[in-house]
Each structure stands twice: as structure tokens, then as C-alpha cells.
Amino acid sequence: MEISMLTRHSPSRGSGSPDVWGFYEEDTGSIQYLAADPATQKAVLIDVVQDFDPAEARTSFGSADEILEFVNEHEFEIVRILDTHPHADHLMASAYLKDNLGVENAIGEKVLEIADLWRELYHLPNAFDPASDFDHLLKDGDCFAVGNLIVEVMLSPGHTLGSITFVIGDAAFVHDTLMYPDLGSSRADFPGGDAVMLWNSIQALLALPSETRCFVGHDYGTDERKDIQWEATVAEHKRVNKHVGAGTSQEQFVKTRTERDRSLTLPDRMLHALQVNLRAGHLPPAEADGHVYMKIPVNRL
């Protein structure tokens, strides 16, 4: 099978260390992950994208289907579908993968609080029931097995109030906390986000063993670096990360992060994405004419 997405393998380093494949979704700069126990071929999928064309409000599943083909070709047994947070820049494919694979899905338990924020912003007081759409609402310190590997859950708020990190041996899926070292960190200005919380979450990540592989949620390259990258070790981040490396103070970080966030526009999919992602990737219910409609708040953000 030929994968059209940029795909990269980070091999296991031995006992307790997962094989990791990253799949780059170019439209949103998102990296989707498969983490597998090399001894049993049991695996999890993390932050898989549901494709969306905002100009036509059209959804599709080409990215997810490529990953499913990869899973089948390599004979992985997916045991759980994971998302690190309700994404603002892409629609999640959790429900689609659950239907296709017949396995349970999970996200952090603070998605319940995020749903409260967005019910008010969308003026949809009866919308969103994450406890029904997700099989597991994970809390800080939770653990579960993937073959012979153990997945540990770390609460990592800041980008959102409910973001979580999955630590699997020497691999940490750090989502929208850190970026690749030459880009620094992720924004903290969405509803429920906070730069001080993000600083504290990053410090907890940087306290992991220095050889831990950190897999980030996004990359866009830079003017100097044209290639797409998504893996760096804790030691590399501590040494050269643009926002938190080389002895940066909390005060410096918060100032840099806040000033940077003020210059950013909202992702073009954000107002579409949250009303889908708070339903685990399900679209809103069809209306009386059999069609699905999204609600977009005007002048609220």
C-alpha cells in the first residue's frame, strides 16, 4: 500500500519502549500517531484527523482510511482510540475509527468542563454529552495496558483546560504543549487556555527522563527549516527549545507566549471543529430535512 501522507517510523528502543509511526496531515499541519507494542502488535491510535473542507463544509475520511489500511497491512491490533483534547484546528475521527474497528475511545475527563464552555459560546444549552460519546474519560494518573506496554495519563492543561499527555515507556505524546524545539510551544489563548498553566504542564514534561521521545501535535516548518519534524527528546527541548529551553523563566515564557498569542488569528476550522469534537467526531444531529447544519457564533471570539 502506498501512503500519500508523510509517514515516519520511530523504532522501539527495547523492552517497554513502543514503536511509533507518525502520519502528517498537511492541510492542518497535524501529526496523527500509531503507538505499538512490538512484542504483541497491540497498538493505539492517537489524534487521528477527520478531513474537512471549510470552504464547502464537507467532511471525508481519507486520512483515517489511509491509517486503517496501514493498520491492516501491518496486522496491528488496535485496542483503543485516543485523543489528547478537543482539537481546535481539525475535526477528530474518533467515532469513525470506533465504528470501523469496534474498540473503545477515550479523552481526558475535563472535556466535561470544556463542553460547558462551548455550550455557552454556541448557545446550545442541551448539546454535547462527552460521557456518552467517549467510552473512557481519563484522569491524571490513570494507567492502562497496550500489550506489554503501560500507558500513563498526565493532565497537561494550558492549551486547553483539559489537555492530556500519554506517556508510553520512553515516548510521550505531548500534543499542543510543546512544538518542535525551533517553534517553541503551542498557543494558550483559546477559551479555558492559560499561559501559566501551559508553563507548569511543560515543566512536568521536561521532568520526564532526558531520553524520552516527545511527539508533538503539529508542525509547519519554518523559514529556515522546510522539512516537517515532530520528534525531539526531553534533553533537546531543555537545551534548545525556543520558548522554554536554556534556563527560560516562567515570567519570560508567559510574556513571550502572551505576546505571540495576541498576534494569531483563530484556526479556520475552529468554530466548526469544537461542535464536532465535543461529540467525539460525530456531526450534529440531522434536522427535519435530513441534513446536518453547524452553528457558528458571530462576534463572540
**Percent over 70 (pLDDT), the chain:** 99
pLDDT per residue as tens digits for the range 35-73: 999 999 999 999 999 999 999 999 999 999 999 999 999
Q: Name 151's bridge partners.
A: 144, 168
Q: In what order do the strands lie in the sheet with 136-138?
A: 6-10, 19-25, 30-36, 42-46, 77-82, 104-108, 136-138
Q: Is residue 289 part of a domain?
A: no
Mean confidence (pLDDT) of the chain? 97
Instruction: Give the domain extent around 16.
Output: 6-262
**Percent over 90 (pLDDT), the chain:** 98
Residues 48 and 98 sit within 8 Å (Cβ to Cβ): no
CATH number of the domain residue 229 falls in: 3.60.15.10
Q: Is residue 282 part of a domain?
A: no
What total of structural domains would you count in the chain? 1
* 3 state SS of 203: helix
From residue 254, alpha-carbon distances to 73, 136, 243, 248, 282 in Å are 45, 33, 9, 10, 35
pLDDT band at 2 (very low <50, low <70, confident <90, very high): low
Q: Is residue 205 part of a domain?
A: yes
From residue 98, alpha-carbon distances to 12, 82, 103, 105 in Å are 26, 10, 5, 7
pLDDT of residue 125: 97
Q: Is residue 1 part of a domain?
A: no
Q: Name 43's bridge partners.
A: 36, 78
Measured CA to CA, the distance from residue 219 to residue 230 in angstroms comes to 6
pLDDT of residue 301: 87
In the predicted model, is pLDDT for residue 1 greater than 80? no
Average pLDDT estimate for 227-255: 97
Tabulate helix, strand, coil % of the chain (nearest 5).
Answer: 25, 25, 50
Q: Is residue 161 part of a domain?
A: yes
Q: Is residue 275 part of a domain?
A: no
Q: Is residue 292 part of a domain?
A: no
Q: Name 59's bridge partners.
A: 52
Average pLDDT estimate for 25-37: 98
From residue 218, alpha-carbon distances to 2, 115, 161, 187, 215 in Å are 23, 23, 19, 12, 9
pLDDT of residue 296: 96
pLDDT per residue as tens digits for the range 89-118: 999 999 999 999 999 999 999 999 999 999
From residue 201, alpha-carbon distances to 176, 257, 262 in Å are 11, 14, 21
Q: Is residue 269 part of a domain?
A: no
